[in-house]
Structure 1
Amino acid sequence: MPPISHNPDKYTFIAPEQLIDKLIRPSALKRFIFFFLGDALIVTLSLYLALYLRFDLRIKPGYIPLITEALPFFLVVKLALFAVFKVYKMTWRFVGLIELYNIGLATLVAEAFLMVLLVITPLPYLHLDHYGVHFPRSLFILDGLISFLFVCALRISRRGYLEVIRNKRSFAQGKRTLIVGAGITGELVLRDMARRDFAEYYPVGFLDDNPMKVGSFIHGVRVLGVTDRLAEAVRKRDVEVVIIAIPSTHFKSLRKIHHAAREAGITRIKMVPQMYKHHARFEVSLKELSEISIEDLIGRQAVEVEYDRIEELLTDKAIMVTGACGSIGSEIVRQVCGFKPASLILFEIDETELHNMRLQLNRAFPEMADRLHYVVGDVRDAVRVGGVIGTHRPQLVFHAAAYKHVPMMEDNSSEAVKVNIFGTRNLARACQLHGVERFVMISTDKAVMPTSIMGATKRVAEYVCTAYSREGGTEYTSVRFGNVLGSRGSVLPLFMEQLKRGGPLTVTDREMKRYFMTIPEAVSLVLQAAVLGNNGEVLVLDMGEPVKVVELAEELIRLHGLKPYEDIPIEFVGLRPGEKLFEEILTAEEGTEATRHQKVFVARNSAAHTTEEIDRMLAEFAALPDVAPGLDNRQVVKELLMRHVQHYKQD
């Protein structure tokens, strides 16, 4: 009598439907077997079909046994080369031109090899001469064409089934979506919708600025009209979501589209974010779609940069960013990560922000986790700076650590000197000592004809870079730009906070103007400037047209559906210490020269210091007593800055 099993799971009954489901469930092995057997059948059929076509369906005796004996060679050679060219590792649901090219190349190599094997140097043990006929050379051409077409058709038919036939039955799953932009980005958005079975978004049509595209179709989806017809398209097609697939659009155009969508009753408006990375096979993921921010609607500009040159500068390089968790530094880190550097050193004084940055980057760039180095340190500490650079050996350093708040630095002038001047000198010297290839310092428009301590100290920092550029070895470049929307301590977060409290919004002066640009756009131009800049140059970014700050406040109120001065008051509080009504970038003080990029210029610097002169200058600042705020030696600092910065003047 057999032993009785006490394990109830030992003899588990599998229902027939479960067995069938298990057999038909897709897997990598089943996909390989399916295509391998399909290709074997295609190779066999294409060889015989090529023979029949070669002789117009009238085959002489002897050819059939000849082909039959050679068939195993065709099977082994072609299937083996398909495996070598990774044909069976391709994801056929997304088959494209590159996959078809690989199939064609594998087929070409196979036919050439078979021709050498069977015709030019025939193997003696095949006994091909016994059949009284020879292999026609044109047979290999016909066989290659037929097998290529059939192998491609097998793959394309699978994709056609998945994207056309099956999805026709499940089109209405997602939200009815209108795509604004019928270019490359719009097509990529549609392709990703298809990959996801239209589960979240169902495309009802495109809109585009180009009237020539109206009426055309992209993967079966029609271009309904130009963007001015958005409200009409929303009404006729029962649109629920609008996706803006024009990542480089100017903020005025973006605001117009956003306003039209809101007026039409659309509450979900998504956009493809700015892409500052370039890949051979660029793709857009629906997961990367972002909400439209206030910054996008107020200051977004169309910025084109040389992705290939930036990629050459950053990819597989060791890079260091100081002030890595600040508004500018953190965006430099994110954009640099997109270019896959060999290593990236994040140098930051705030350990809490550095920890938060680690969490963000681990989510956004998991593949970069082992290349990122998080270093807590202060640019004022020369020993720490030298130790970090000596240990990690960066090839490129972006220096974004600085004190930038104008009124705050008027009350803490000694700290502005320590960080903005001495911190820059510590880094510049360490880079020279350890053979860093390039040093890029982030400067400001407030360094031009400065009226503030912050601006004047940044101007001296530019002098430091210019002086060290004359020493040879490391290349030093400074990059100036204006205000960026959304940075910490800037006007937009202040306005947003005041708006939440119901106002008033405070503006210093009705005539005050500023240059504005969003942080991603400004940083993309910094990377472009790093490519263009020569040793010792101060580069100037064109931030577009200056905007009145009061107009910015008024537009922000309108974007929230309110009326300026009626629903939300605006108060004018007067200039703060160190501020001026208008920031000069392209200024008569120096003048500028054009580069090959329309938004990057070179400042004609008249001041050229040596490192010895810089050392003597900094020795005067070092002799200042270190006093607490409230007892600050601001006037002494100002007098020293006025002595060394020609155009610095007190407000």
Structure 2
Amino acid sequence: MVWMAWILTYAIRYSLLPEPQPVIWFGPEVILVLAVQAVVFWWTGLYKGLWRFASLPDLWNIVRAGISGALLIAITLFLYNRLATVPRAVLLIYPAALVVLLGAPRLAYRFWKDSRLDLFQTSPSQRVLVIGAGRAGEALVRDLKRENRYRVVGFVDDNPQLRGAKLHGIPVLGMLDKLPEIASEVAAGMLLIAMPSSTNALMRKVVELCESTGLPFRTVPRLDDVVSGRSQFNELKEVAIEDLLGRDPVTLDWTAIRSGLTGKRVLVTGGGGSIGSELCRQVARLGASSLTILELSEFNLYKIEQELRANWPDLLLDMRIGNAGDAATCERLFADVRPQVVFHAAAYKHVPLLQGQLREAVRNNALATRTVADAADRHGVECMVLISTDKAVNPTSVMGASKRLAEIYCQNLASRSRTRFITVRFGNVLDSAGSVVPLFRDQIRAGGPVTVTHPEITRYFMTIPEACQLILQAEVLGEGGEIFALDMGEPIRIRDLAEQMIRLTGKVPGRDIQIIYTGLRPGEKLFEELFHPLENYRSTSHAKIFLAQPRSMGWEMLTAQFGRATQAVHDFDEEALRRCISSLLPDFAWRETDEPTVVAFARNK
């Protein structure tokens, strides 16, 4: 093509002369042109381009190679013969001719490859309507054209400037509100949502419109899922409840977070649980020098170890089976590992189950926290983060009360220790073990009914990665003794959650899957709170993170009551435990339903 462009340019130039001159088809001058242009092609990487995927960047590369080649050819021929035999117009026309000769075959080949399968296609393509005419929608259409399983018949987008425009020859047909009418007019068989950066409120609106059409719909994954490796770009998947109820992404100061963890020795208690395991992944990703995991469940410890060793083979891992409430275990662990940062995620969290298990709730949630905190204080840990819950605010359950005791101890110990003790509160975590989302999913898969405790019960929701990122941010923000909580937006009605999950499976609530209301369980609230009125919460340097002021308590009384609680746990004296809790939490109201949960086992005949 270089030879053809050079000779063709000469022929055009000589044809304009009054007396046409013969074109020299080959000679030293042509050899120099070929050599110089070959070097330029190698420098620009043109030889490595794949014609099958030729696009605008490849065309720009050809233009760059043509212009650069013409300049170097001019310099080379000037040094060779002072451009005695080269008309100046040739050097101007040659790059344009070369761009055409190199670009046209590539684009023609790609067009042929993209369209040739249509000639041999035996089954008709499914007509699809793409929601979102942005970059994601454009990239999705390009991929779909290669597969030929789908035929994109149009776009729907709320941008008024795109109305009537075309992407890859496919028109933008209208606004989102007109989706049902447009889908019917174009006889679409499927809807594809290409809005990976949309807000959750917008996503809920889009899904409602898709459901009103009665057509199946899919979505491309969110950008966070692509970056984290949980999904592939332009992978079509069903809309998950996390896409609708997870909150909008929170921007974090990753530079500060890395400075607080990179090169540090980190200990995570309860590292095999939903929150603990995600914390381990985040810590490994941020470059901790070593990671120690204390976990009571052998299987959970095995699972997270296999994952971490596969994904971060260079990370120094220390896996320990043990109970965080065992003082001897903690003492040996802290002495061996000498952690600099501790994340205490080990806890019981199931509200109704713990309502009748007062001793175990206090032992594992409150006294074990004291054991870990005391060990952190003795061994000079830089920072300890307690993973708490919104149920510790004005607690009405045994679980909430036990977590509130843990908060009180860490807050008051912070003023007497060099270790920074920080508490992080958040609401329900989507898809965590024992949460309502997997329960509803199993009930829907079994054909129902879906059980909701109360038609008006509401909860805050956040995703597991977001919860863990908040914990990491709080570890950097905290100076000691604080309680941090995230601005979690508006609470979600559990009834709406159940109905949405049913609809996402293509079924109709109340017709295909029944929803029954079982009544509030022992210790359960209709709504949750993130702060106590006396905590005087205020904003921090992060727009989405709030700070609660600690409520101080006499250290002697606190340690005395924890000592009595320890003895009561040893003696299995739940009445004494009640007195200890009432002394430390005078507003906590005991209920008549706070009785042990009776579990009956039936022997197989």
TM-score (norm: length of structure 2): 0.73
Map of 2:360 onto structure 1? 415
Distance, in Å, in 2 between the alignment partners of 1:527 and 1:142 is: 63
* 2:485 corresponds to 1:540: yes
Q: What residue is the counterpart of 1:187 in the other structure? A: 138
User: Structure 1 residue 242: deviation in Å?
Assistant: 2.0
Alpha carbons 1:479, 1:539 under 8 Å: kept: yes
CA distance in 1, matches of 2:565, 2:22: 102
In the TM superposition, what are the counterparts of 1:25-64 in structure 2 within 5 Å?
Answer: 41-42=1-2, 44-45=3-4
For residue 347 of structure 2, give the secondary structure of its aligned residue in structure 1: coil
Instruction: Work out which of the residue numbers 469, 475, 479 in structure 1 matches 2:424.
Output: 479
Match of 2:165 in 1: 216
1:302 aligns with 2:248: yes
- Summarize the Cα distance change of 1:488–1:149 in structure 2 as closer, same or farther, 3 Å threshold: same
Q: Indicate conservation of the 8 Å contact 1:103/1:152, yes or no.
A: yes
Q: CA deviation at 1:595?
A: 4.4
Task: Give the aligned partner of residue 177 of structure 1.
Answer: 128
Distance 1:138 1:430 in 2: 83
Distance in 2 (alpha carbons) for counterparts of 1:211 and 1:520: 37
Aligned residue identity for 1:273? P
- Which residue, out of 285, 293, 296, partners 1:349? 296
Contact 1:557 1:568 in 2 (8 A): no
SS of structure 1 residue aligned to 2:423: strand
CA-to-partner distance for each residue in 1:591-632, whole Å, 9 max, x for gaps?
33334655x22223234699x9899579626742445xxx84
Aligned to 2:222: 274
Secondary structure at the counterpart of residue 567 of structure 2: coil
Is structure 2 residue 532 aligned with structure 1 residue 592?
no
Matched, 1:636 2:598: no
Query: Once the 2 structures are TM-superposed, how far is the Cα of residue 232 of structure 1 from its aligned partner?
Result: 2.5
Distance in 2 between residues matched to 1:519 and 1:231, nearest whole Å: 31
Report whether the alignment pairs 1:228 with 2:177.
yes
Q: Does 1:514 align with 2:514?
A: no
What is the letter of the counterpart of residue 187 of structure 1?
E
Q: What's 1:620 paired with?
A: 563
Alignment of 1:56-135 (within 5 A): 67-68=29-30, 70-71=32-33, 73-75=35-37, 77-82=39-44, 86-95=45-54, 128=80, 133=84
Q: Does the C-alpha gap of structure 1 residues 138 and 415 become closer, same or farther in structure 2, counting only changes over 3 Å?
A: farther
Indicate how the Cα distance of structure 1 residues 587 and 626 shifts in structure 2: closer, same or farther if over 3 A, else same: closer
TM-superposed deviation, 1:382: 6.4
Aligned mates of 1:355, 1:188 — CA distance in 2: 40
Query: Within 1, Cα distance between the matches of 2:22 and 2:4?
Result: 19
The amino acid of 1:523's aligned partner reads A
- 1: CA distance, partners of 2:509 / 2:23: 90
Q: Residue 177 of structure 1 aligns to a residue in which SS? A: strand
Measured against aligned partners, the alpha-carbon deviations of 1:266-303 in whole angstroms (never above 9, x if no partner) come to 2x3222233326769999545x4332345655x34433
Alignment CA distance shift 1:256-1:78 (3 Å): closer
Alpha-carbon distance in 2 for matches of 1:328, 1:70: 66
Instruction: Give the whole-Å Cα distance in 2 for the aligned partners of 1:464 and 1:189.
Output: 53
SS at match of 2:136: helix
Per-residue deviation, residues 289-326 of structure 1 (Å, max 9, x unmatched): 332345655x3443353597699679987877554443
In structure 2, the CA distance between the partners of 1:613 and 1:204, relative to structure 1 (3 Å rule), is farther
SS at match of 2:403: helix
Question: Aligned residue pairs: how many?
Answer: 581
SS at match of 1:243: strand
Which of the numbers 402, 407, 418 marks the counterpart of 2:347? Answer: 402
Q: Which residue of 2 aligns with 1:12?
A: none
How far did 1:543 drift?
Answer: 2.4
For 1:573, the equivalent position in structure 2 comes to: 519
In the alignment, which of 265, 270, 285 is matched to residue 214 of structure 2? 265
The aligned residue for residue 289 of structure 1 is 236
Q: What does residue 456 of structure 1 align with?
A: 401
Q: Distance in 2 between matches of 1:315 and 1:190?
A: 42
Question: Where does residue 166 of structure 1 map in the other structure?
Answer: 116
Q: How big is the shift at 1:328?
A: 3.4
Q: Structure 1, residues 170-208: CA drift from partner, whole Å, max 9, x if none?
A: 7876432222222233233223324xx224433222222
Per-residue deviation, 1:445:
0.8
Q: Is the 8 A contact 1:441 1:479 kept in 2?
A: yes
Give, as a single letter, the amino acid of the residue that structure 2 aligns with 1:350: S
CA distance in 1: counterparts of 2:313 and 2:488, whole angstroms:
34
- On the 8 A contact 1:277/1:307 being kept in 2, the answer is no
CA pair 304-567 structure 1, distance change in 2 beyond 3 A: closer
In the alignment, the residues of structure 2 paired with residue 385 and residue 497 of structure 1 have an alpha-carbon distance, to the nearest angstrom, of: 38
AA aligned opposite 2:563: E
Q: Which moved more, 1:181-190 or 1:350-359?
A: 350-359
TM-score normalised over the length of structure 1: 0.68
Opposite residue 528 of structure 2, the aligned amino acid is E
| Displacement after TM superposition at 1:561 (Å) | 1.8
Instruction: Determine if contact 1:403/1:454 at 8 Å carries over to the other structure.
Output: yes
